[in-house]
Copies of this chain bind each other. A is one copy, B any other.
Amino acid sequence: MPTVSVENYLKAILHLEEGEEGRVSTTAIAEKVGATPASASAMMSRLGDRGWVEHERYYGVSLTEKGQRIAMEILRRHRLWERFLVDHLGFEWDQVHEIAEELEHVDSRELVNRLDAFLGFPKLDPHGDAIPGPNGRFRSVAARTLLAEAPRNLDLVVVGVVDGGDAFLRHLGVLGIELGSRLTVMERHSFDGSLHVRFADVDELQLLAPSVCARLWVDQSNPAPVIVFPENDPPS
């Protein structure tokens, strides 16, 4: 029965662990939860006592099996609630994070599973992030690339955002980019990595700053497959 604060810390550590190798630093955690390093340090020893993190003094922490299970559960709730807010209450994707940040702490196994069913067992949240299943593992590991690293001349589709703060999401709105937007990389400028892209529904080329390209997940957009009818029936 972790408190709200403990749940926020565990989720922060989970976020910081993915991608980065090894242990997570106290200062990074403090920054993520909006507290001082001193407060985070105190919390780490409490989390260590309860067996939710492994704490090597002066070298950071990593989640234990138990801690990870809890963190994944919070993440699951967060992302399911975000889906609910967008799909059923008509919120925009840049308005739901803060509210989900509170809803995720409502503790009822039954509630979250019924919500999951009500939403149709979604695999992705409104920002394109995978939603953990009731077992605490992700339902699908989608193959995705950062737009910044995508090859040219491919039909791409935006499938997610990296660490999407509300300001960034609103900026995407200004640029006319949303989940599902289709585009092609025409030119990559080696000076700063900015890209000239062409959107499927726009005529002119558009320039995207590297700060944007590094935060967009894209996938190859499956073109409507060309179905070739065989001239003869295949052998059964």
Interface residues of A (CB under 8 A from B): 85, 88-91, 95, 98-99, 102-103, 105-108, 110-111, 114-115, 118
Contacts and interface: CB of A to CB of B under 8 A. Distances in A.
A58 B111 CA distance: 42
Contacts of A98: 108
Nearest to A89: B114
8 contacts: A88-B118, A91-B110, A99-B108, A99-B110, A102-B105, A102-B106, A102-B107, A106-B106
Contacts of A105: 102
A89 B118 contact: yes
A187 to B, nearest CB: 42
Contacts of A108: 98-99, 102
Contact of A91 (B88, B90, B99, B114): B114
B102 A114 contact: no
A89 B102 contact: no
A interface SS class: helix
A76 B85 CA distance: 19
A150 B165 CA distance: 58
Nearest to A102: B106
A103 to B, nearest CB: 6
A111 B99 CA distance: 8
Nearest to A113: B89
A111 to B, nearest CB: 5
A102 to B, nearest CB: 5
Given A89-B118, A102-B105, 13 more contacts: A85-B111, A88-B118, A89-B111, A89-B114, A89-B115, A90-B114, A91-B114, A95-B110, A98-B108, A99-B111, A102-B107, A102-B108, A103-B103
Nearest to A81: B106
A90 B115 CA distance: 10
Q: Which 3 A-B pairs have the closest CB atoms?
A: A89-B114, A102-B106, A99-B108
Contacts of A106: 99, 102-103, 106
A5 to B, nearest CB: 12
